[in-house]
């Protein structure tokens, strides 16, 4: 027993869908245009989200109420250094602990002589300050061994990883891999290397007295805002930020100050423009081909609104079909890039936003066709 | 006595402007009554189609008045005219103007859909209208699957399904052979038997006048003769129907 869906749909929708599918070549061209446009927007925005997560991943995984950093520090990877101010920080009322964290670039040299830059992250591993997460092999606890490091499997080829126990040299010092993580990627594509703070200082070449950041934990009941203000006023040439504030500052720097975000948005905008033009062009030509039908509708006494609804249904059908196909491709891109250095991240919110954008794009495209139909004279039926 | 469903009083229509201006209709007085089939005959360029457009509320007269079921259309906006067409006018065109992507039933339902009647009521209405024109067995056929005569029957069903005050038919048999043309005129004559509905048919074919209660001739934008059932009055006679 077959189900005739068209008998349950509004007739203007039936007319719109049949007109749309009647010219299959034009429908295919329109769909390809929309899919291209939506996939482009999806990938650009997915990269933006992916980058946004990458540039803040360390901040979000650190166990700190407040970050103390040198004044003007732009992002987590900023090489600015602080002197030894642990005691000064601890002296501020409400502060429970202050742990130094060091970061910095160095070189990873394999036994074959190959060399690649790496980004060291050194923290106090006896505390939970900033330990490697998503450990898929080995253990972060082993990082207190001399020369022990943790690296991410994303960069296995660049680091010449052969599993746990892989040996290399950093700044002339022997290191061996005791833990492997998954998905800890860097926006700069330079591999992160986790180490105990003492070892990390040596790998980067920093004296014992300096730190890149102090991770501050508050005493129970202490007011965050008050402690933040007291630290700012009590210590000179420093910034004190909450984790969300520091994450936002890092995001702003990498995605906007460097122009990376603007480039992604420009790509997405280009996709929207291309999509709008393609849909507008095909809707207009479809409407032009069906002008005698619209004139007949007008002669039958149909309101302009009814005729617009036919065109709008065509536009919305285009949007829904194009979006569905683009989503399949988009999720394919997500699956392919999920373990790569540049992951495309698509969230439900992003999907909803792109669907709304697709609808908007197709509705805007319909206006050219509507403008053509507005001028239609019902008397035209007599000349056809 | 049947009521007047449409009146044109002193209607003039000037088309175009400047040197190409044409005085297409000149001082037209005409009344259509329910229960009558009226034929409008005249040579090409005589103003038949323009008159049909004015009576069908697609064109506003340059001067004069058109009243539909007692309602004046003076100064009506295009949307108001469209609303009056929805309420009172059924159209039948020479080349049918069916929607090729819709079935016969859907084509007829469309006339109800634009009037705000949907769903089962529209389907039942379309089925009844198609039964009336002898196409109950072609509900699900697309126009390409129908003969010319059948397509015109669908167009007639579409014109009457909303129970209009009057039906205007523009050369409804021109694209059909003699037999089908006669059959279509028979259907239109049947529709015109409804005392609440007038039918005006524009045609070149004088053989069809046997179906009409009344025949009006138009020449050079003027009504020149108005006769009923074989009687004739000299031009320019009073052409108010009655």
Note the pLDDT tens digit of each residue in B92-121.
Answer: 988 899 999 999 999 999 999 999 898 899
Which positions ≥6 away from B110 have C-beta within 8 Å?
Answer: A11, A15, A297, A300, B99, B102, B158
For residue A161 the two structure tokens come to 């990883």
pLDDT at B231: 46
CB contact under 8 A, B123 and A19: no
Of A352, A103, A98, A348, nearest to A250 by C-alpha is A103
Contact A319, A364 (CB under 8 A): no
pLDDT at A168: 92
Which A residues in the span 69-88 are in contact with B, Cβ-Cβ below 8 Å? none
User: Across-strand partners of A176?
Assistant: A148, A167
pTM over 0.90: no
Decide: helix, strand or coil at residue A9: coil
Sort out which chain A residues have CB atoms less than 8 A from B144's CB and list them: none
Residues A316-352: tens digit of each pLDDT: 999 999 999 999 999 999 999 887 777 898 999 999 9
Q: What is the DSSP track for chain B?
A: -PPEEEEEEEEEEEES-GGG-EEEEEEEEEEEETT-EEEEE--TTSSHHHHHHHHTTSS--SEEEEEETTEE-TT--HHHHHHHHHHHEEEE-TT----TTS-HHHHHHHHHHTTT--HHHHHHHHHHHHHHTT-GGGTT--GGGS-HHHHHHHHHHHHHTT--SEEEEESTTTTS-HHHHHHHHHHHHHHTTSTT-EEEEEES-GGGGGG-SEEEEEETTEEEEEEETT----SS---B--
CB contact under 8 A, A303 and B99: no
Interface test with chain B among A300, A303, A379, by most B beta carbons within 10 Å: A300
Interface test with chain A among B97, B165, B168, by most A beta carbons within 10 Å: B97
Sort out which chain B residues have CB atoms less than 8 A from A384's CB and list them: 95, 97
Contact A15, B99 (CB under 8 A): yes
**Does the bond joining A350 to the residue before it have cis omega, within 30 degrees of 0?**
no
CA atoms within 13 A on the CB side of B157: 32
For residue A148 the two structure tokens come to 């022990």
What is the number of CB-based contacts under 8 A between chain A and chain B? 80
Interface test with chain A among B98, B110, B119, B120, by most A beta carbons within 10 Å: B110
How much of chain A exceeds pLDDT 90, in percent? 48
Gap between the Cα atoms of A68 and A276, Å rounded: 47
Is pLDDT above 90 for A183?
Answer: no
Decide: helix, strand or coil at residue A27: helix
Nearest 10 degrees: Cα torsion B95, B99, B100, B102 = -140
User: Across-strand partners of A218?
Assistant: A95
Q: What is the DSSP track for A249-287?
A: HHHIIIIIISSHHHHHHHHHHHHHHHHHHHHHHHHHHHH
Residues A230-256: tens digit of each pLDDT: 999 989 899 999 999 999 999 889 888
Of A12, A22, A382, the CB nearest to B53: A382
pLDDT at A379: 82
CA atoms within 13 A on the CB side of B21: 7
Q: How far is CA A272 from CA A47, A114, A277, A288, A353, in A?
A: 16, 44, 9, 24, 13
Of A293, A298, A384, the CB nearest to B99: A293
B101 touches chain A (CB under 8 A): yes
C-alpha gyration radius of chain A? 29
pLDDT, greater one: A200 or A260: A200
CB contact under 8 A, A297 and B110: yes
Gap between the Cα atoms of A54 and A45, Å rounded: 14
Sort out which chain A residues have CB atoms less than 8 A from B58's CB and list them: 299, 377-379
Of B52, B86, B123, the CB nearest to A301: B86
Q: If you measure CA to CA, which chain B residue comes closest to A306?
A: B114
Task: Give the residue-averaged pLDDT of A11-31.
Answer: 90
Q: How far is CA A336 from CA A38, A343, B35, B120, in A?
A: 18, 8, 74, 50
> What is the distance in angstroms between the Cα of A355 and the nearest Cα belonging to chain B?
29
Decide: helix, strand or coil at residue A152: strand
CB contact under 8 A, B115 and A11: no
pLDDT at A7: 57
β-bridge pairing A95-109 and A167-170: antiparallel
Average pLDDT along chain B: 89
Sort out which chain B residues have CB atoms less than 8 A from A301's CB and list them: 82-87, 89, 114-115
B110 touches chain A (CB under 8 A): yes
For residue A157 the two structure tokens come to 């080829």
Residues A49-73: tens digit of each pLDDT: 888 888 898 999 998 999 999 999 9
The complex's ipTM? 0.87
CB contact under 8 A, A12 and B113: yes
> What is the distance in angstroms between the Cα of A18 and the nearest Cα belonging to chain B?
6
Neighbours of A272 (CB within 10 A): 20
Which positions ≥6 away from A277 have C-beta within 8 Å?
Answer: A365
Is pLDDT above 50 for A175?
Answer: yes
pLDDT at B229: 61
A299 touches chain B (CB under 8 A): yes
Residues B129-180: tens digit of each pLDDT: 999 888 999 999 999 999 999 999 999 999 999 999 999 999 898 888 888 8
Is pLDDT above 80 for A2?
Answer: no
CB contact under 8 A, A11 and B118: yes
Which B residues in the span 177-236 are in contact with A, Cβ-Cβ below 8 Å? none
Is pLDDT above 50 for B242?
Answer: no
Rounded to 5 degrees, what are φ and ψ at B90? -115, 135
Contact A110, A175 (CB under 8 A): no
Decide: helix, strand or coil at residue A3: coil
Q: Which H or E run contains A308?
A: helix A304-337
CB contact under 8 A, A301 and B109: no
């Amino acid at each position: 027993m077959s189900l005739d869906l068209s008998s349950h749909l509004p007739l203007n929708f039936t007319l719109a869908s049949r007109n749309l599918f009647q010219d299959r070549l034009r429908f295919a061209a329109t769909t390809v245009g929309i899919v291209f446009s939506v996939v482009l927007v999806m990938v650009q925005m997915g990269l933006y989200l992916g980058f946004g997560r990458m540039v803040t991943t360390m901040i979000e995984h650190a166990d700190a109420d407040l970050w103390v950093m040198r004044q003007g520090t732009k992002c987590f990877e900023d090489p600015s250094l602080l002197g030894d101010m642990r005691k000064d920080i601890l002296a501020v009322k409400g502060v429970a602990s202050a742990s130094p964290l060091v970061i910095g670039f160095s070189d990873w040299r394999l036994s074959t002589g190959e060399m690649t830059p790496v980004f060291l992250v050194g923290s106090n591993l006896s505390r939970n300050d900033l330990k490697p997460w998503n450990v898929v092999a080995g253990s972060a606890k082993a990082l207190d061994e001399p020369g022990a490091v943790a690296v991410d499997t994303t960069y296995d080829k660049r680091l010449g990883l052969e599993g746990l126990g892989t040996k290399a040299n950093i700044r002339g010092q022997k290191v061996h891999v005791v833990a492997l993580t998954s998905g800890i990627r860097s926006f700069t594509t330079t591999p992160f290397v986790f180490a105990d703070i003492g070892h990390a200082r040596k790998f980067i070449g920093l004296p014992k007295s300096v730190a890149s950041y102090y991770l501050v934990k508050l005493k129970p009941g202490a007011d965050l805002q008050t402690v933040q203000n007291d630290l700012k006023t009590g210590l000179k040439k420093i910034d004190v930020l909450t984790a969300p504030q520091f994450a936002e500052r890092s995001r702003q720097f990498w995605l906007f100050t460097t122009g990376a975000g603007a480039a992604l948005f420009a790509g997405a905008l280009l996709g929207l423009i291309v999509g709008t033009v393609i849909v507008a062009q095909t809707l207009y030509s479809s409407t032009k081909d069906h002008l005698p039908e619209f004139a007949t509708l007008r002669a039958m006494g149909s309101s302009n609104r009814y005729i617009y609804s036919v065109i709008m249904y065509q536009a919305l059908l285009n949007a829904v079909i194009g979006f569905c196909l683009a989503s399949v491709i988009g999720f394919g891109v997500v699956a392919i890039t999920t373990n790569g250095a540049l992951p495309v991240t698509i969230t439900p919110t992003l999907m909803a936003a792109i669907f709304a954008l697709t609808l908007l794009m197709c509705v805007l495209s319909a206006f050219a066709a509507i403008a053509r139909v507005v001028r239609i004279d019902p008397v035209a039926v007599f000349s056809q | 006595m049947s009521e007047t469903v449409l009146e044109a009083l002193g209607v003039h229509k000037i088309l175009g402007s400047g040197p190409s201006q044409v005085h297409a209709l000149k001082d037209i007085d005409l009344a259509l009554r329910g229960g009558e089939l009226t034929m409008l005959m005249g040579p090409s360029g005589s103003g038949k189609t323009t008159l049909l457009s004015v009576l069908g509320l697609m064109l506003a007269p340059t001067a004069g008045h058109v009243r539909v079921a007692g309602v004046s259309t003076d100064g009506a906006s295009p949307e108001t005219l469209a609303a009056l067409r929805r309420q009172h006018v059924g159209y039948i065109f020479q080349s049918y103007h069916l929607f090729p992507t819709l079935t016969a039933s859907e084509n007829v339902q469309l006339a109800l859909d634009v009037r705000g009647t949907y769903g089962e009521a529209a389907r039942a209405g379309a089925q009844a209208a198609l039964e009336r024109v002898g196409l109950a067995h072609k509900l699900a056929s697309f126009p390409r699957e129908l003969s010319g005569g059948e397509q015109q029957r669908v167009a007639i069903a579409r014109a009457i399904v909303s129970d209009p005050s009057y039906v205007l038919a523009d050369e409804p048999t021109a694209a059909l052979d003699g037999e089908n043309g006669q059959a279509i005129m028979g259907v239109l004559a049947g529709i015109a038997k409804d005392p609440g509905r007038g039918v005006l048919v524009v045609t070149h074919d004088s053989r069809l006048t046997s179906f009409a209660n009344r025949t009006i001739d138009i020449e050079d934008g003027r009504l020149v003769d108005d006769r009923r059932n074989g009687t004739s009055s000299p031009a320019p006679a009073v052409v108010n129907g009655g």
